[in-house]
Amino acid sequence: MMITEKDIATTLADFETYCRFVEERKPKLTPARSELGKKECLELDRLLSHPKGFTEPKYLQITYPSINLWFHVSLAAGFFGVEAGKGRSRILVATNRLERFRKLNPFARYLYLFRMFWTRINWDELYLETMDMLHHFFYIQIGMHALQGAVPGERLYADVENFEECYDRKNPLHRMFVGAGIVIHHLQDFGFWEYERAYIKTLNMTERDINVKAITPTRLGVAMIEGCLQRPLEMYNPFVDQKRVRRLWSEDFNQAVFGKMNRNKPTLYKIEPFEKAFEDIFPEGSLEVMDDLDADEIGESGEPNVYYFRVSLNRKLWRVIKLSEAHTLQHLHDAIQEAFGLWDDHLFAFFMNGKPWSGEAYWDKRAGKKPVADRAVVGKLRLSVGMKFLYLFDFGDEWCFTVKVERVVHEIAAFKPVIVEGCGENPEL
């Protein structure tokens, strides 16, 4: 089944609408949640293909699932960076990666966005404050197994209007429809299907809750499901808690669901390039350019990229640290410790969205959490000039350093990180 540009047109148009809106408006991020404000969300919602249809600006970004999706995808891809605005405000500013993305062909753009969603976003962060937070990825996996071989355009129905009488927790579609509605909405944004909502009075549903009574898969969705099953989220997304996966599999009723479909527990797959599972459904060679976006911009000299990070404790106390694309965040941590005269006697973490204790983090390996900083290679983090993230040292006192990508240049890389500039005396932590 070969995918055409028509199949992916709506997804690409919606994402471009989101990007153009942010580029033109440069909206201030809310101080409490670092997201788009209520007025901007209401205005942007009216421009998208699957609007919530609110009439007043009284809902947070998370209540607009499509906006929330593109917000997280665009940040994960490095298409926007967070910079200081007027006063203490913070705004989103487009990076050069966005223009490079726009130069890709439509098929590469589509799968690149989906790869960000599937492999780069912390789903606990994306689905924070929803009823689906703990099990959504597992219910989606169950549902996708049930949808193998589905007929495009054939409506699949689950009578969940009367939830208490008819819900069958051993029915894989019922589990997905009731347990992962917000993810179903996001896969609709990616063109997998159209869905119909179920309004269940007994559950005291709010505007942010989405339960589903029927979906109608598209040609694109049926084809993409096959690829998704070859790229299980728990293997390709580093933020998935493996202990949680094992615990979910150990639950009898989850095993019963797969048993009902005559399927065993999914086997472990050899890790292969993400796009390889989808290349047969897109025009030949169209996905090869995906790597162009992530490829290092090596100059004619062949010299590697070198990153200059400005690490600031405050306006009067900062250091500039130079390291190569081959170094890791562990090396950056070591350099920060040296640059500020610290003793490396506490745990640390890098929070890539700038929010302390958010899920989008790389951890000190001593903390016992994953992903770990010593496996986070700088050249593979999709960093671009102007991007900022947070380095937090000492989980008790919480010393917060802002790290900004100040420059990326082509030059001979030093064997170890180098402190090239600074201002202010070392702090007494």
Q: What pLDDT score does 304 carry?
A: 61
End-to-end CA distance of the chain: 61
Rg value, the chain, Cα:
23
Task: Report the pLDDT value the prediction gives residue 298, as an integer from 0 to 100.
Answer: 38
pLDDT computed for residue 172 by the predictor:
80
What are the beta bridge partners of residue 310? 320, 404
| pLDDT at site 300 | 38
Single-letter residue type at 5: E
Distance, CA of 319 to CA of 235 (rounded, Å):
37
Q: CA 102, CA 100: separation in Å to the nearest integer?
A: 5
* pLDDT score recorded for residue 21: 97
Q: Is the peptide bond before 356 cis (omega within 30 degrees of 0)?
A: no
pLDDT for 130 = 59
Q: How confident is the chain (429 residues) per 10-residue block, as mean pLDDT?
A: 93 98 92 89 96 91 94 88 73 87 96 94 76 67 89 84 58 81 95 88 63 92 94 81 74 70 60 90 91 55 74 93 90 94 94 88 92 90 86 95 89 78 86
C-beta separation of 364 from 347 below 8 A: yes
- The H-or-E segment that residue 367 falls in is none
Report pLDDT for 197. 87
Q: What's the predicted TM-score (pTM) here?
A: 0.74
Tell me what pLDDT residue 391 has: 97
| H/E element, 320 | strand 317-324
Q: What is the pLDDT of residue 308?
A: 92
Q: Is 225 helix (H, G, I), strand (E, B) or coil?
A: helix
State the pLDDT at residue 301. 39
* Helical residues (DSSP H) of 251-317, grouped into ranges: 252-260, 290-294
